[in-house]
Amino acid sequence: MHGICSDEAPKNPSIVVDVFYDFARERHLAIAKTLHDRLVETGKLHIEQRDLGGLRRVISQIVQNRYPTRFTSREAWILCDSAWNRIHPAQVLVEGAVLSEAAFLRVFGPVRALPPCAFKRWWAPLI
């Protein structure tokens, strides 16, 4: 979805606005809830001012304020409260933003290692 947003935004800026509102509704995924709230208000001001560049910067900041996650199509882990917790991969695929390893390190810095059982089996049912 984020790639579509980048490709189509110059032709239809309302796509960026829609993506912003999707992220704005996902306060539960934010690490710092008050920061998320401030970013949402700032994003709304950018929309009123028709400042697409400013709105994109706010979307980027909202994404950076989310919990670090590692995933494949079959398994996903989220770092929350200093511990890696297994979650359903569909949750990440629907709600997450894909970062390269370098971007992940820029956003989150070094994080605690994944548990030894993470990504060890080709298929591991979520219990």
Sorted by where each begins, the domain ranges of the chain are 2-64, 67-127
Return the higher-pLDDT residue of 103 and 39: 39
Q: Are 9 and 16 within 8 A, CB to CB? A: yes
Query: Is the pLDDT assigned to residue 17 strictly greater than 60?
Result: yes
Nearest Cα residue to 69 out of 46, 88, 56, 41: 88
pTM above 0.85, yes or no: no
Q: Are 43 and 19 within 8 A, CB to CB? A: no
Alpha helices in the chain (DSSP H): 2-8, 14-24, 33-48, 52-64, 89-95, 101-108
- Tens-digit pLDDT profile for residues 89-110: 777 665 566 777 887 787 778 8
